[in-house]
Amino acid sequence: MAQLLAVVGGGDLSTHAVLAAEALRKAAGRRNTPITLELRGKGASGNPLSDAAIAEARAVLLVGEGDLGEGRFGALHRARAAIEDVLTDVNAVFDRLGAGAEAPSPAASAAAPPKKIVAITSCPTGIAHTFMAAEGIQAAAQALGHAVRVETQGSVGARDALTAPEIAAADIVLIAADTGVDRARFAGKRVYATNTKAAIRDGKGLIATALAEAQMQPAGGTEATADGPARPAAAEKQAGAYKHLMTGVSFMLPFVVAGGLLIALAFAFGGIDAMKPENAGTLGYALGEIGAKAAFALIVPALAGYIAYSIADRPGIAPGMIGGMLAANLQAGFLGGIAAGFIAGYTTRFLARHIRLHKNLEGLKPVLILPLLATTVTGLLMVYVVGVPVAAVLAALTEWLKGMQGASALVLGLVLGGMMAVDMGGPINKAAYASAAALLSSGVDAPMAAVMLGGMTPPLGIALATRLFPSRFTAPERETGGAAAVLGAAFITEGAIPFAAADPLRVIPSMVAGSAVAGAIALTSGVTLKVPHGGLFVLPIPNAVTNVTGALIALAAGTLVTGLLVGLLKKRAT
């Protein structure tokens, strides 16, 4: 029977190529159209087309870039599409194939000449979404014929940093970030800002929108000018409270990680009493001082300072950090720090936009006027209005969390664990993670265990399912299962995204169930975690995890539940 052929070449973007191939397979099934797929490219290859299949085919669809083996098809009718076209509207791609004429490539059909684009991507932890967004932008720019350079940012710093000549030569600056990004170096350039999700879902559409709507970035960060706010209008719509909070969490995490591990090492070297005054001068006592009285003391100021930075740019850092320090001194903890950050940020931005000075005195605003006035307002509000009631709320919350037993621990573990698997790095996942990470600064480390174990379970469970039920997965999916296991072991929940995208109605509920089980077992068995990341690699560190056996049991149980449910619910792969 004559059929369609499709060759998907992902280059280095193997995840996108697998998703595109799965979308084509499902669309062909809905149309009752026989199709044979070949996946080509680094890290994604399988099901090579046979000579017999090529001889019987009536048309071939070439998707993506790179070596697609086009010479094999002779005079066979063919059509082309970008991976983004398939992921965005697979039915339109099939209509193009059946129309009888080869469609031009996106680059050839672009009305505008090629552009030079520099981009920055960033998410709160600087891991999966940061690089998925970078891949989306790179693939879309390549499909549209534009030159692009992407700098990835996260809590570990910048990678592939943009150089001054690259920025100077660029036509636009594209920022796809869930955290605040310093824009001082982009003064005089057209800038467009959005979140990472836009780059992951529709990189091609994002670039088209950015080219049309990017606005000039004036000198002086995001301070107001006579022409209006420095942030593009689209960025103002996108930058809400969630993004500002995630920026603060992103900068806070290194303090939590360093402090937690140093405290654990202090106990390892000096025993449970390592930090008592009588042990002064010992290595354990010194490590404890560094971790508890230095790193942990800066957690709340860093959280508040960089929430304010996300709102008001650099002028907001000093008022935010000072407000955060007041919150810590008033025993208002991370809740007070969040309040201080938002108060400082919005106060600074309001003052920046409404204080008008002669141009010769404008330089005094960021270094004198804004820090002084914003710090005064923030400090007075923290001391007289916010600090005491927030401290009372935090104390009550802390006592309840520390005293959790039985049903309350079970329910909280189910909720936190399940939230980690609902959207795998999205807002719900990040809300649970940010809450648990912030609680570490108040000495509550049980929720972090439920969150991390619940976040490791989805990719580990998927990897297990590909081994227990191989017939439920395609060959490329079975190969990807090994990579998902490694990502899961490192607490990168996003490793399960390709499988969830291919079959969300069956896979996502299975992952939520497994993560909820892992979180519930962790909290009811007294597992605690002093660091907010690391996965299996933090288990050998002395005292980083309390009740390691319970943690392993919780992880194994959650993984098994996810693996079995995925295998039982998924249909046999065609």
Residues tagged active-site: 123
The 3-class secondary structure across 403-440, one letter per residue, is: CCCHHHHHHHHHHHHHHHHHCCCCHHHHHHHHHHHHHH
| Structure tokens, 130 | 């940061």
Distance (Å, whole) CA 173 – CA 190: 6
Distance (Å, whole) CA 543 – CA 265: 7
| Structure tokens, 13 | 């973007």
CB burial class (10 A; 0-12, 13-18, 19+) of residue 354? Answer: exposed
CB burial class (10 A; 0-12, 13-18, 19+) of residue 504? Answer: exposed
Instruction: Work out whether the CA dihedral 275, 277, 279, 283 comes out positive or negative.
Output: positive
Instruction: Work out whether the CA dihedral 288, 289, 293, 296 comes out positive or negative.
Output: negative
Q: CA angle, corner 87, sides to 242 and 177, nearest 5? A: 25
Containing H/E element for 8? strand 4-9
Contact 437/538 with Cβ under 8 angstroms? no
| CB environment 532-552: b (16+ within 10 A), e (fewer) | bbbbbebeebebbbeeeebbe
Residue 525 Cα distances to 447, 521, 551, angstroms: 12, 6, 8
Distance (Å, whole) CA 456 – CA 451: 9
Only one residue has tokens 């049903």, namely: 407
